[in-house]
Chain A
Amino acid sequence: MGPEASCLGRAVTFSRPRLIARLDVKGAAVVKGIQLDGLRVVGAVEEKAKFYFEQGADEILIMDAVATLYRNQGAIEAIRLAAESTFVPITVGGGIRSLEDAKSMFQLGVDRVAVNSSALADPQILRQLSDTFGEQAVVLSIEAKKVSHGNWRCFYESGREDSGKSVMNWIQEAAELGVGEILLTSVDRDGLMKGADLELISEVVSGAPTGVVYSGGLIDPKQILELLSIPNLCGVAIASAFHYERLRISDLKASFKANWESKEG
């Protein structure tokens, strides 16, 4: 099995890399920060999810920005409504600490769960989740922050806390526990709309045993297209550029379509 085949769902559901709309949420509100801090309300979860679905998003990524901080699941009702009103895969992250938490998400119609803080605290949660629900349902969420040249560390609680773990080491460790995909968020680039952390991407993608979805700073259609042509990069997740209407999913998809069609002949 080549690296591309391990991209979660790709072989089955998607023939192309995914364009994912990312909703950072707090209760029923979609929020957005810069470097994950200073959360500004930019809309309502259900309405935004529906809007991006209608625009042609391949997936909706819902990240509860405060679930770990407050140890609650305040966004449950909003997630349920989002799942009901959209017909693309939904991934939910934030505050998933147990099999029960994950199960309650799947019962809402969510397709996969993304785990960060709790996996850093106890990596075995990944094995439990993948044994129970299958690897394809488990996404390892990584909040990567550069600490020195060529060195990124895993942060948690929405980029507030430094786990001290190196991103590359953590990916190797976690892969053995069963992870279908990696969601890689660049804390340094988040919300700035000044482009992706290309160094980080190349570092992670070359060493990752599973597919990677990248998130953080995306704004330039050309750069996004280039990223999506990297083998093993299964998709990109975009928030600010969509929320602030700097990019439209439908426009992006139209321009990508031509590109992919020419490649696929």
Chain B
Amino acid sequence: MNYGRYGLPLEVKYCVRCVISNQRPSSVVEFAASTSDRKETINFSADGVCDACLFNDTKEFNIDWAAREQELFRLAEEYDKIPGYNVVVPGSGGKDSAFTSHVLKYKFGFRPLTVTWSPHLYTDIGRQNFDSWIHEGGFDNILFTPNGRLHRHLTKLAFQNLLHPFQPFIIGQRLIGPKIAAKFGIPLIFYGENQAEYGNKVSENSSPLMREEFFSGEASNLRFGGESIKSILETTSFGAGDFEPYLPLSSEELRQKQIEVRYLGYYLKWDPQECYYYAVENTGFLPNPSRTEGSYSKYSSLDDKIDPFHYYTTLAKFGLGRASYDAAQEIRNGKITREEGVELVRKFDLEFPEKYFEEFLSYIDISRGEFSRLIDAARPEHLWREKNGTWDLKHPVWGER
């Protein structure tokens, strides 16, 4: 197979079961990312099924979930010996972290400290759900808000250099759990679902532990928004100390403190829609007042005004927008058929996120013109064609034979 921009396969193929294409990159170690990175993309089987769907088969048929649940009860017992908080649950109070924290505390008897890396710009419903999580769900929480001046600067760099404005957020969000755990001497961190469910290497799913490289590394190699710390320090007035929240734990510290990171999705069969129901019932969670731009659903990923721009950039770079990710997940979990998914993608994937556009531009301090220029410059030639100023996908999922 030949590869084009970002290392994406030139021949676009869609999974025969869901609507994800072979252009979908796997999660990467974000603070190592540079502008020239060639992305590893989702794997397809010989008969055209993506790794995420294959993993779903395993989830559906080959895992003894009752035994896994018992494993979690045993783990809870083991950690019960630890005094005080015995697990850190990072999250926003959205449906997934609401489910994770609540079930761990109220069903399995853990004593969680929840920790939140603040969204760039809270939506009203996001802030309301966060408050309900703590007030109605009943949790201790540390809300960490990074230095907004630096966070905005890094977000801008990430947008300009990588067209990946969420990169600094992802870095912070991945680190905040382990850092708080280290600070409080809590030896365990629990996340909800493993990202591998969405198409990282399936082998990552056979262990409840998160790959260490996602949250540890040596500071000297770090890059943010495609630029090294050194270069940022040289060209701005920020000091080295400002980077504290973005610096990973050293492998040494991790080992010394014996902090483990686990996924609830390993122990309990993960179903995003059921998390929604659980969160509504137990932590006062409510969906968005109206449909999220770029997709059809109201209940996922709704706390950050910048979020739609993350998906808008994945649409430009990989031809996969928010509706593609949402629909693929719902197809796998049996909520909609592939035909419905294709229709939803056709209808919503290319929609421009108008609602918070001005706020996004002002957050990263760029003009409309530069935004469009960067977006258009990032569209790989093998995915997009331009006609009279309008960009169209060359191989949309709804255009398949």
| A contacts, CB < 8 Å to B | 34-35, 37-40, 66, 69-70, 145, 147, 155, 157, 159-162, 191-192
**A155 to B298 CA separation, bound complex (whole angstroms):** 13
Least CB distance, A169 to chain B, in whole angstroms:
19
Q: Does B257 contact A (CB under 8 A)?
A: no
Least CB distance, A201 to chain B, in whole angstroms:
20
Contact assessment for B287 and A37 in the assembled complex, using a CB-CB cutoff below 8 Å: yes
Contact assessment for B298 and A35 in the assembled complex, using a CB-CB cutoff below 8 Å: yes
Q: Does B2 contact A (CB under 8 A)?
A: no
Contact assessment for B296 and A69 in the assembled complex, using a CB-CB cutoff below 8 Å: yes
User: Chain B 329-345, CB within 8 Å of chain A: the 1/0 string?
Assistant: 00000010000100110
| B contacts, CB < 8 Å to A | 273, 276-277, 280, 286-287, 289-291, 296-299, 335, 340, 343-344, 347
- Residues from chain A with Cβ under 8 Å of B335 in the complex: 39
**A192 to B273 CA separation, bound complex (whole angstroms):** 15
- Residues from chain A with Cβ under 8 Å of B286 in the complex: 35
Contact assessment for B340 and A66 in the assembled complex, using a CB-CB cutoff below 8 Å: yes
Contact assessment for A145 and B289 in the assembled complex, using a CB-CB cutoff below 8 Å: yes
Known interface pairs A37-B297, A160-B296; 9 further A-B residue pairs with C-beta atoms within 8 A, sorted by A's residue number: A34-B287, A37-B276, A38-B276, A38-B297, A66-B340, A157-B291, A161-B290, A161-B291, A191-B280
Contact assessment for B340 and A34 in the assembled complex, using a CB-CB cutoff below 8 Å: no
9 pairs from A and B in contact (CB 8 Å cutoff): A34-B299, A37-B276, A38-B277, A38-B287, A38-B298, A39-B273, A145-B290, A160-B296, A161-B291
Contact assessment for A192 and B298 in the assembled complex, using a CB-CB cutoff below 8 Å: no
- Residues from chain B with Cβ under 8 Å of A66 in the complex: 340
**Interface on chain B toward A: helix, strand, loop, or mixed SS?**
loop
**A155 to B289 CA separation, bound complex (whole angstroms):** 10
**A258 to B231 CA separation, bound complex (whole angstroms):** 81
Contact assessment for B287 and A192 in the assembled complex, using a CB-CB cutoff below 8 Å: no
In the complex, which of the residues B277, B290, B344 contacts A34, with contact meaning CB atoms closer than 8 Å?
B277
Least CB distance, A79 to chain B, in whole angstroms:
19
Residue of B nearest to A162 (CB): B290
Contact assessment for B290 and A70 in the assembled complex, using a CB-CB cutoff below 8 Å: no
Least CB distance, B345 to chain A, in whole angstroms:
12
Contact assessment for A40 and B273 in the assembled complex, using a CB-CB cutoff below 8 Å: yes
Residue of B nearest to A69 (CB): B296
- Residues from chain B with Cβ under 8 Å of A69 in the complex: 296, 343-344, 347
**A170 to B87 CA separation, bound complex (whole angstroms):** 52
**A37 to B273 CA separation, bound complex (whole angstroms):** 9
Least CB distance, A171 to chain B, in whole angstroms:
21
- Most chain B beta-carbon contacts within 10 A, residue among A34, A35, A39: A34
Residue of B nearest to A187 (CB): B289
- Residues from chain B with Cβ under 8 Å of A162 in the complex: 289-290
Contact assessment for A34 and B280 in the assembled complex, using a CB-CB cutoff below 8 Å: yes
In the complex, which of the residues A40, A70, A160 contacts B277, with contact meaning CB atoms closer than 8 Å?
A40
**A225 to B319 CA separation, bound complex (whole angstroms):** 53
Contact assessment for A160 and B287 in the assembled complex, using a CB-CB cutoff below 8 Å: no
